[in-house]
Chain A
Amino acid sequence: GAVVSQHPSWVICKSGTSVKIECRSLDFQATTMFWYRQFPKQSLMLMATSNEGSKATYEQGVEKDKFLINHASLTLSTLTVTSAHPEDSSFYICSASGGAGYEQYFGPGTRLTVT
């Protein structure tokens, strides 16, 4: 299947700092990318959907000013957690799709720990 990478795979940051996570589709053009977060032993929760060249659509309860998403090209989307706090510590996963109805391919995830 298609390959999606994330960078970094894990990051530890201090409270109040910002962290950027990259999601890349390596062998296909991703019209749509999705950002999820997952708490321990829970299912994935969709945070936002981003389409290349347009603003991301955020799910209810997700602060768009805190979780900045940029999808500047068909192979790269970034999620920036601004002014991170310990409660933002989580596993962040992206997925990429060639468009509506196409299969989603998941990245390996980024484990964020805010101290």
Chain B
Amino acid sequence: KNEVEQSPQNLTAQEGEFITINCSYSVGISALHWLQQHPGGGIVSLFMLSSGKKKHGRLIATINIQEKHSSLHITASHPRDSAVYICAALKSSGDKLTFGTGTRLAVRP
């Protein structure tokens, strides 16, 4: 079993829909990253959080340390949100990231 699990693996949504991507982890962490990777390959760091909730524009990330679970929400989704979303856990024991397998999101106009 992977230390970081994401669901769903693939997600298709209609423009305007509210989207949730989930991430569960089984190790102790100091922080969790949400990353976005577009088809060209470049990776953008969306959030790094260790507790509570962060918001940036239409994106919201939450984390529940006790339940070892994080969610990424996209409000009013748009086709330009189509990308692979990756959660990555920064283990308490070091500075390496452990990556989930990614969620491939397609938003249709």
Contact = CB atoms under 8 A, between A and B. Distances in A.
Contacts of B99: 43-44
Contacts, number: 53
B95 A97 contact: yes
Contacts of A1: 45
B101 interface: yes
Interface residues of B, number: 21
A106 B41 contact: no
B102 A43 contact: yes
A84 to B, nearest CB: 19
Give the residue among B44, B95, B100, B102 with the most A Cβ atoms within 10 A.
Answer: B95
Contacts of B100: 43
Contacts of A111: 41
B94 A104 contact: no
B1 interface: no
Interface string A25-45: 000000010100010001110
B42 A104 contact: no
Interface of A: 1, 32, 34, 38, 42-44, 46, 49, 91, 93, 95, 97, 99-101, 103-109, 111
